[in-house]
Amino acid sequence: MNDNPHQPDPSDQTERPVLVLNAGSSSLKYQLLVPESGEVSASGVIERIGESGSDVADHAAALEAMRARLADDGVDLDAVSLRAVGHRVVHGGPDFSEPVVIDDDVVARIQALSPLAPLHNPAAVTGIEAARSHFDVPHVAVFDTAFFSTLPPEASTYAVPRDLAQKHAIRRYGFHGTSHQFVSRASAELLGRPVEELNQVVLHLGNGCSASAIRGGVAIETSMGLTPLQGLVMGTRSGDVDPGLHAFLSRQVGLSIDEIDEMLNKRSGLLGLTGVNDFRELSKRLDAGDEAARLALDVFVHRLKHYVGAYLAHLGRIDVLVFTAGVGQNSPRVRAGLANGLDGLGIAVDPARNEADGGRVTEPTVISPDGSRVVVAVVPTNEELAIARQTADLVH
């Protein structure tokens, strides 16, 4: 009990931070934050885990390195009274449609989903196991696919032989779900309207890019599929190609399946079209009149329009169209490019609003003209905060 009402109660959960971890095969991103206020006390990334010449041998060593870095920043992990650890997990497969408190069974199930995400899930399991040994607090897994578990069967089903699809859990899952969900809630708040009333299209444009159609807060379509390769043009990923391209490259060019997979994931998209995947560099080249950069931007925007048009057809009406992530928050060119020619659909961008502060948006902002049929907004995403909040909700 706290006798003095003016003193914060040390047992008050809302003061205690959550540690959010995102474990990759050779990196560990971390952020320590209080979910209610969003106050971040530390964040960073430990890289080159397990690589030759690195002094970080494995994920357990990475946690030690993180602890030391936090101490350098004046944060003593033993003193902060950690509430829980929230883990970002890429693939929840058909099993996980919501965040879960982690136990041995959950770890085994995430591991068992590895065929669906061979690069990501084993790394997540390694990170979770190391963190469970290191921190004796509840651990929660938050899945990148979970928000899209609501896709109706006609949206999630590929037209391939049914028994094969069932046997191997082949379907559209979608990714970036934590961001799409966070941004859809935040944009409803920006409008001061309940999310249940809104038809939303969210465009998450970062290094990876994805679009979603959300009706009343429930996702009904998204552009990524079985893997994050499907859909929009991305920094290094092709997005949609003719599925026949694989057979063509195999037969005509003699590439192996692994080579094709690597090419479409790592050497395509903006990088494949221009030699650079960073939008800042692309912008400089556009300013200089570079032809390849022009075509890359046109292809990028063309594909975006394709999805927005499709989502209008699926939703019947769009109330809010939201841009988020690195490119969405910082490229007025992409936002204006999408809106160009869409006034007939009620989609327009006000140039002054779109280009204010060099087009860099740090707070939820409306960029459509007053009275537009569709509100076009830019809403910064915050996946760590979303993971911390979902974690706190499960362990309070």
Would you name the residues annotated as active-site residues?
144
> CB of 331 within 8 A of CB of 279?
yes
Q: Is the Cβ of residue 157 or residue 207 nearer to ligand ADP in the bound state?
A: 207
Q: Is the Cβ of residue 97 or residue 265 nearer to ligand ADP in the bound state?
A: 265
Q: How far is the CB of 195 from ligand ADP (least distance, A)?
A: 23
Tokens of 378: 């830019």
Tokens of 46: 């430990």
Helix (H), strand (E) at residue 324: strand 320-324
Q: How far is the CB of 288 from ligand ADP (least distance, A)?
A: 15
Q: Is the Cβ of residue 68 or residue 292 nearer to ligand ADP in the bound state?
A: 292
Query: Nearest Cα to 116, choosing from 144, 88, 140, 135?
Result: 144
Q: Is 205 helix (H, G, I), strand (E, B) or coil?
A: strand
How far apart CA 171 and CA 265 sit, in angstroms, is 19
Q: How far is the CB of 93 from ligand ADP (least distance, A)?
A: 22
Q: How far is the CB of 381 from ligand ADP (least distance, A)?
A: 7
Q: Is 45 helix (H, G, I), strand (E, B) or coil?
A: strand
- Within its chain, how far is the Cα of 285 from the centroid? 27
- Within its chain, how far is the Cα of 275 from the centroid? 24
Query: Nearest Cα to 261, choosing from 161, 119, 145?
Result: 119
Q: Is the Cβ of residue 230 or residue 283 nearer to ligand ADP in the bound state?
A: 283
Ranked by CB distance to ligand ADP, the top (closest) residue is: 326
Q: Is 117 helix (H, G, I), strand (E, B) or coil?
A: coil
Task: Write out the residues near ligand ADP by the rule CB under 6 A.
Answer: 206-208, 235, 278-280, 283, 325-327, 330-331, 360
